[in-house]
């Protein structure tokens, strides 16, 4: 009882929430549908030092997942890092942030467009994202302020549902991507890590917890801004929030290692939100702080790539 109470206080509860989800309940939210699916490798682009393949496959939600697989040009069997982009981003942004650093380390990469992002973004999605950003006043505002906006109870909940679907369906898409990587002869399926950015760090924490095929997690400007809203919600709403709150999943990543990289001056994911996630994780774990805001300095990505190389 003491441990449970301590955990709840750590997650920001003034009093105990009315609905505390079990691990079985959390896992079941991300249970894959065991059914065959086809991955289309649509194009291959040869670069000076890398081989790039566009991929697509059906999502369990019914739409088409779009992504890219990149590896060193030389023939071989490579470890792979999944790259998970942030809110409002796309696979190309994730690839641009880290792929060259990882390729230099002899590591392949796979990045997907999250649901409602990139090639998967519809006109209806666009309208909802515009509505969200207009309420915030600027697209420079991020997920922490966003959480207060989209989770407010007087709203119709459309933006909140969109964000929840992005996270839940996105995690399931990466589980299918892991299945795909297991079929590639140029991939060492026992050496798969991930690097997530902001929302992608939250998704990556959940993915790493529910799928042990991920062996090391590098979480850039990640945190948990959701738990502070749970106490005022109904039990049903608390369960919905818990299923996208990475701090509920973080303890189940161990014994696989976690590295968090955060900015001291980040207004999007402030220190309090980052520490909720960090302290909910178990050893082995490490957090590195940089004199930056939500955009980390280049050296942070260099260090993240080096850290992953040493653990895959």
Reading the block at residue 48, the tokens are: 């000076």
At 121, is the pLDDT very low, low, confident or very high (cuts 50, 70, 90)?
confident
Per-residue pLDDT of 47-80, as tens digits, reads 778 999 999 999 998 899 999 999 999 999 999 9
3-state secondary structure of 297: coil
Calculate mean pLDDT across residues 22-51: 88
Q: Which domains does the chain have, with CATH numbers?
A: 2-309 (3.40.50.1820)
Alpha helices for the chain (secondary structure H): 2-10, 23-28, 91-104, 123-136, 143-150, 158-181, 199-210, 235-242, 246-249, 271-280, 298-309
Q: Please tell me the predicted confidence (pLDDT) of residue 232.
A: 67
- 134 to 87, 150, 232: CA distances (angstroms): 15, 12, 25
Residue bearing tokens 């898409």:
173
> How many CB atoms sit inside 10 A of residue 28's CB?
12
Reading the block at residue 67, the tokens are: 């992504």
Q: Please tell me the predicted confidence (pLDDT) of residue 6.
A: 41
Reading the block at residue 51, the tokens are: 């081989």
Mean pLDDT of the residues in the chain:
86
Helix (H) or strand (E) holding 197: strand 187-197
Higher pLDDT, 133 or 248: 248
> How many CB atoms sit inside 10 A of residue 123's CB?
6
Q: Please tell me the predicted confidence (pLDDT) of residue 8.
A: 45
Q: Please tell me the predicted confidence (pLDDT) of residue 150.
A: 60
Using the predicted structure, report yes or no on whether residue 299 has a pLDDT greater than 60. Answer: yes
Per-residue pLDDT of 252-274, as tens digits, reads 999 999 999 999 999 888 898 99
At 166, is the pLDDT very low, low, confident or very high (cuts 50, 70, 90)?
very high
Of the ranges 1-5, 128-132, 150-154, which one carries the lowest mean pLDDT score? 1-5
Distant-in-sequence, close-in-space partners of 35: CB < 8 Å, separation ≥ 6? none
Using the predicted structure, report yes or no on whether residue 214 has a pLDDT greater than 70. Answer: yes
């Amino acid at each position: 009882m003491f441990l449970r109470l301590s955990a709840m206080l750590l997650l920001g509860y003034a009093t105990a929430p009315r609905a505390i989800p079990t691990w079985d309940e959390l896992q079941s939210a991300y249970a894959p549908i065991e059914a065959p699916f086809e991955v289309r490798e649509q194009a291959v682009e040869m670069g000076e030092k890398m081989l790039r393949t566009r991929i697509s496959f059906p999502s369990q939600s019914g739409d088409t997942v779009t992504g890219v697989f990149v590896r060193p040009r030389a023939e071989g069997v490579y470890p792979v890092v999944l790259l998970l982009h942030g809110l409002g981003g796309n696979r190309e942004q994730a690839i641009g942030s880290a792929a060259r650093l990882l390729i230099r380390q002899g590591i392949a990469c796979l990045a997907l467009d999250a649901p409602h992002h990139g090639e998967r973004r519809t006109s209806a999605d666009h309208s909802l994202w515009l509505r969200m950003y207009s309420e915030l006043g600027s697209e420079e505002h991020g997920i922490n302020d966003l959480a207060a906006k989209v989770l407010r109870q007087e709203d119709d909940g459309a933006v909140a549902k969109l964000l929840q679907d992005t996270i839940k369906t996105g995690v399931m898409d990466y589980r299918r991507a892991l299945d795909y990587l297991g079929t590639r002869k140029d991939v060492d399926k026992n050496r798969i890590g991930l690097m997530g950015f902001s929302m992608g760090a939250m998704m990556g924490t959940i993915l790493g917890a529910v799928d042990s095929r991920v062996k090391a997690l590098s979480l850039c400007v990640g945190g948990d801004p959701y738990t502070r809203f749970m106490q005022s919600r109904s039990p049903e709403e608390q369960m919905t929030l818990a299923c996208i709150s990475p701090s509920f999943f973080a303890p189940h990543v161990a014994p696989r290692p976690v590295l968090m990289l955060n900015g001291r001056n980040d207004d999007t994911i402030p220190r309090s939100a980052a520490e909720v996630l960090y302290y909910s994780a178990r050893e082995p774990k490490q957090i590195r702080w940089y004199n930056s805001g939500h955009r980390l300095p280049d050296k942070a990505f260099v260090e993240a790539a080096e850290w992953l190389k040493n653990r895959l």
